[in-house]
């Protein structure tokens, strides 16, 4: 098969070199966006008189026919044609003849591929944000239906203070909100049309780049042709945002793995979202969570791949940039799959409030509330901290629980406890005392749920 660029070559490309050079195995997924960009480009060529209007119409009709053929499975891509751009041009030539050669007037594969990736990524970010929103709404629904479940809040993976399960779940809603914000912010820098930059120096034809931008829905056009064809900042930024997203999903997955352990017993995952062991009949494994946790490293690796590809490239386009697509595609695919499967997992997970409540028995997690009571009686916090520390130590030595103590037990350590209420060390009183914006009191969490619903509309 003759290469479309083969005029100055006297020897056919070696088969191994051809295989090594080809990218159709992975960039074929850009075919729809390549055709979309080509249609906008050829319309512009016709309207500006750069090619005959009749030729422009014939090319557009041919591209539409090829799109139909691909959708119906009637078109075949070949490695000999190297990439998605040349495969489509080859198909177009076979369909409408030599006039197809006019399509590539006033453009290069360099600005063409940059346009295709941006068009593809604009669509994928919309889909990814939609998947983020679905998980957020799932978490909000769980928070709303578990508003009265109190669980141990932890620091250093040790019981610290009681919190509402709702509050804990909503923490991930706000993490995911920042993730969607980052993706949306990246979209503003993706939404720039590079087409018209040519190979690196612009083109000699009187093209109308603004017309093409409007046709393709880009907010603006690139201002420097060298930058336009060699820029992959937008891909790095997207995968960076996806890496942070995956970090959040991994953290949540780790917690679900812990909570699913029988020693916690705080959640039960459905049989339809867990797997078994090939040797141990009793096992029911949280493989979904473990894979999400593991795949975060995969997305991080994709980010490092992109950064490494770009770090030493002189301007403008270099073939190294062919390696940008696989890590970008994989990062997007991985994040979207993890979001989708996490939503299914959460829909089939039962949270055990009774086990969470029982885990707080005798855990001293309301000790700070005793110190806060002393502070309100006028004792400096550091002194109050020391007094309560001694109370905790005494309980450990005598085998008593903090929540059992009443005023007469506490006055041995400070006379200021004489007016202490009977529920001073209860988990319910502890959470309700934190009725501040962002706090764990019932009213504060209900307010947070309302704000989360507004943020995720």
Q: What is the CATH number of the domain that holds 400?
A: 1.10.40.30
Residues 50 and 117 in one domain: no
Q: What is the CA angle 89-208-204, rounded to 5?
A: 75
Rounded Cα–Cα distance for residues 361 and 384 (Å)? 23
CATH code: domain of residue 89: 1.10.275.10
What is the structure's pLDDT at 11? 87
**Residue 134 domain flag:** yes
- Report yes or no on 29 lying in a domain: yes
Q: What is the pLDDT of residue 7?
A: 80
- pLDDT reported for residue 397: 97
Q: CB neighbours of 2 closer than 8 A, spacing ≥ 6?
A: none
Q: Quick one: 143 and 234 in the same domain? A: yes
pLDDT of residue 14: 87
Residue pair 334/303 in contact (Cβ under 8 Å)? The answer is: no
Residues 234, 314, single domain; the answer is: yes
Terminal C-alpha separation, the chain:
53
Q: Answer yes or no: is 100 within a domain.
A: yes
Q: At what angle do helices 53-71 and 84-96 cross, to 10 degrees?
A: 110
Tell me which residue range forms the domain holding 372. Answer: 367-425
Q: Are residues 138 and 63 in the same domain?
A: no
Whether 86 contacts 112, CB under 8 Å: no
Q: Count how many residues are written for the chain.
A: 457
> Do 86 and 213 fall into the same domain?
no
Are 224 and 373 contained in the same domain? Answer: no
Q: How far apart are CA 147 and CA 124, in angstroms?
A: 34
Q: Which of 198, 199, 200 is nearest to 209 (CA)?
A: 198
Average pLDDT along the chain, 457 residues, taken 10 residues at a time: 75 87 95 98 98 98 98 96 96 98 98 98 98 98 98 97 98 98 97 98 98 98 98 98 98 98 97 95 96 98 98 95 97 98 98 97 96 97 98 97 94 96 94 97 98 97
Residues 288 and 385 in one domain: no
Residue 239's contacts (CB-CB under 8 Å, 6 or more residues apart) are: 299, 302, 303, 306, 327, 328, 331
Regarding whether 171 and 36 lie in a shared domain, the answer is no
Contacting residues for 9 by C-beta, under 8 A, at least 6 apart: 3
Tell me the Ramachandran region of residue 265: left when phi exceeds 0, alpha when psi lies from -120 to 50, beta otherwise.
left
Do 392 and 344 share a structural domain? no
Please state, in angstroms and rounded to a whole number, the distance separating the CA atoms of residues 2 and 6. Answer: 7
| Distance between CA atoms of residues 311 and 315, nearest Å | 11
d(CA 414, CA 387): 7
Cα separation, 159 vs 155, in Å, equals 7
Preceding omega of 245 cis (within 30 degrees of 0): no
- State whether 342 and 205 are in the same domain: yes
Q: Is residue 214 domain-resident?
A: yes
Asked whether residue 261 is domain-assigned, the answer is no
Question: φ and ψ at 23, to 5 degrees?
Answer: -125, 5
Domain count, the chain: 3
Integer Cα distance of 165 and 55 in angstroms: 65
In this predicted structure, what is the pLDDT of residue 18?
Answer: 84
Radius of gyration for the chain, computed over Cα atoms and rounded to the nearest angstrom: 31
Alpha helices, DSSP H only, in 146-272? Answer: 165-190, 209-216, 225-230, 233-260
**One-character DSSP codes across 334-396:** HHHHHHHHHHHHHHTEEE-HHHHHHTTTT--TTHHHHHHHHHHTT--HHHHHHHHHHHHHHHH
Residues 99 and 15 in one domain: yes
CB atoms within 10 A of CB 266: 24
Does residue 338 sit in the same domain as residue 371?
A: no
What is d(CA 35, CA 68) in angstroms, rounded to the nearest whole number? 11
Q: How far is the C-alpha of 366 from the C-alpha of 386, rounded, in Å?
A: 15
In-domain check, residue 59: yes
Say if CB 78 and CB 72 are below 8 A apart: no
Residue 457 domain-assigned (yes or no): no
Please report, for residues 132, 150, 163, 432, the alpha-carbon distance to residue 439 in angstroms, rounded to integers and kept in the order given: 24, 13, 9, 9
The residues carrying an active-site annotation are 156, 277
With beta carbons less than 8 A apart as the criterion, state whether 91 and 29 touch. Answer: no
Q: Which positions ≥6 away from 409 have C-beta within 8 Å?
A: none
Residue 77 · residue 24 · CB < 8 Å: yes
Q: How far is residue 129 from each of residues 343, 400, 426, measured CA to CA in Å? A: 14, 50, 41
CA dist 80 to 93, 215, 326, Å? 15, 31, 20
Inside any domain, residue 257: no
How much is the pLDDT for 12? 87
Burial letters 295-331, b for 16+ CB under 10 A, else e: bbebbbebbebbeebbeeeeebbeeebbebbebbbbb
């Amino acid at each position: 098969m003759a290469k479309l660029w083969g005029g100055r070559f006297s020897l056919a490309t070696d088969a191994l070199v051809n295989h090594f050079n080809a990218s159709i195995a992975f960039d074929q997924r850009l075919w729809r966006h390549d055709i979309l960009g080509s249609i906008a480009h050829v319309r512009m060529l016709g309207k500006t008189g750069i090619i005959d209007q009749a030729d422009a119409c014939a090319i557009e009709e041919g591209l539409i026919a090829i799109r139909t053929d691909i959708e119906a499975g009637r078109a075949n891509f070949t490695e000999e044609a190297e990439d998605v751009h040349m495969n489509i041009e080859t198909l177009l030539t076979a369909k409408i003849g030599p006039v197809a050669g006019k399509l590539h007037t006033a453009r290069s594969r360099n600005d063409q591929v940059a346009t295709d990736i941006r068009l593809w990524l604009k669509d994928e970010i919309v889909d990814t944000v939609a998947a983020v929103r679905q998980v957020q709404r799932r978490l909000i629904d769980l928070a709303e239906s578990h508003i009265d479940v109190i669980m141990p809040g932890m620091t250093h993976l040790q019981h610290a203070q009681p919190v509402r399960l709702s509050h804990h779940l909503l923490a991930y809603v706000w993490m995911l909100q920042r993730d969607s914000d980052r993706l949306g912010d990246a979209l503003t820098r993706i939404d720039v049309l590079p087409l018209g930059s040519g190979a690196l120096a612009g083109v000699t034809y009187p093209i109308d780049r603004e017309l093409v931008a409007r046709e393709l829905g880009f907010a603006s056009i690139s201002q420097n042709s060298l930058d336009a064809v060699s820029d992959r900042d937008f891909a790095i930024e997207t995968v960076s945002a996806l890496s942070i997203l995956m970090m959040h999903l991994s953290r949540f997955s780790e917690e679900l793995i812990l909570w699913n352990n029988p020693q916690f017993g705080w959640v039960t995952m459905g049989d339809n979202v867990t797997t078994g062991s090939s040797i141990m009949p009793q096992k029911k494994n949280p493989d979904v969570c473990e894979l999400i946790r593991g795949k975060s490293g995969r997305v991080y690796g994709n980010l490092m791949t992109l950064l490494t590809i770009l770090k030493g490239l002189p301007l403008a386009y270099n073939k190294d940039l062919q390696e940008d697509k696989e890590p970008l595609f994989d990062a997007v695919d991985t994040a979207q799959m993890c979001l989708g499967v996490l939503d299914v997992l959460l829909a089939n997970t039962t949270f055990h409030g009774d086990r969470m409540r029982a885990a707080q028995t005798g855990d001293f997690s309301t000790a700070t509330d005793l110190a806060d009571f002393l502070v309100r009686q006028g004792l400096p916090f550091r002194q109050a901290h020391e007094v309560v520390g001694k109370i905790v130590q005494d309980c450990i030595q005598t085998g008593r629980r903090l929540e059992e103590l009443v005023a007469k037990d506490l006055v041995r350590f400070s006379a200021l406890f004489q007016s202490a209420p009977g529920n001073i060390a209860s988990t319910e009183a502890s959470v309700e005392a934190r009725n501040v914006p962002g706090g764990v009191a019932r009213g504060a969490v209900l307010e947070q749920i309302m704000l989360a619903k507004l943020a995720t509309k």
